[in-house]
Amino acid sequence: MRIIACGYDEHAEAILAILNDAIVTSTALFDYRPRELASMVKWFRAKEQEGFPVLGAVADDGSLEGFATYGPFRNWPAYKYTIEHSVYVHRDHRRQGVARALLTRLIATAEQQDYHVMVGGIDATNSASIALHVELGFVLAGTIHHAGFKFGRWLDLSFYELRLRTPARPVDG
């Protein structure tokens, strides 16, 4: 497995397939309807314009095993050093170290880009994702109970945070 930077032309369809599978089969994504390929144009454009990475785990045969990215935590200026991340792994490649490799690289990228806090919003029943985050140093920041409703039940959303060593010299404004 190699970790690479993903691009629209090469990876949009594979990323969309992983996202849509998460939407229809899990509570990893608090969404109801699969997305259209056209939505990926805007998604990739926004990532590129903001300088946010889209990392992919690629198998020897070139197939995408998973992807990770981050974006703004909140759209107010004082949150500029805080990002919210996502990691999704293709169903056939879970529990094989793909998520760990992606999240580890994503943390390093966030430090290179001078962010200070990474936040992950995780379904409170997703023990595998929670365990991975804790192993990589994330701590529980809080839980919003009944934050979502999917598959006929209320979902609690737990936020895990990781404080990074960067930036060396934060500034206002």
Alpha helix locations (H) across 26-144? 38-50, 98-112, 127-135
Looking at residue 165, what is its pLDDT? 94
Looking at residue 76, what is its pLDDT? 95
Each residue of 115-166: pLDDT tens digit?
Answer: 999 999 999 999 999 999 999 999 999 999 999 999 999 999 999 999 999 9
Q: What are the Cα distances from residue 91, in Å, to 52, 64, 73, 78?
A: 25, 11, 27, 37
Each residue of 49-96: pLDDT tens digit?
Answer: 999 999 999 999 999 999 999 999 999 999 999 999 999 999 999 999
Nearest to 65 by CA among 29, 26, 136, 11: 11
96 φ, ψ to 5°?
A: -125, 15
Looking at residue 77, what is its pLDDT? 94
Domains in the chain, ordered, with CATH?
2-163 (3.40.630.30)
Q: Is the pLDDT of residue 173 over 90?
A: no
Looking at residue 66, what is its pLDDT? 97
Looking at residue 30, what is its pLDDT? 95
Each residue of 147-156: pLDDT tens digit?
Answer: 999 999 999 9
* Residue reference for tokens 């930077």: 5
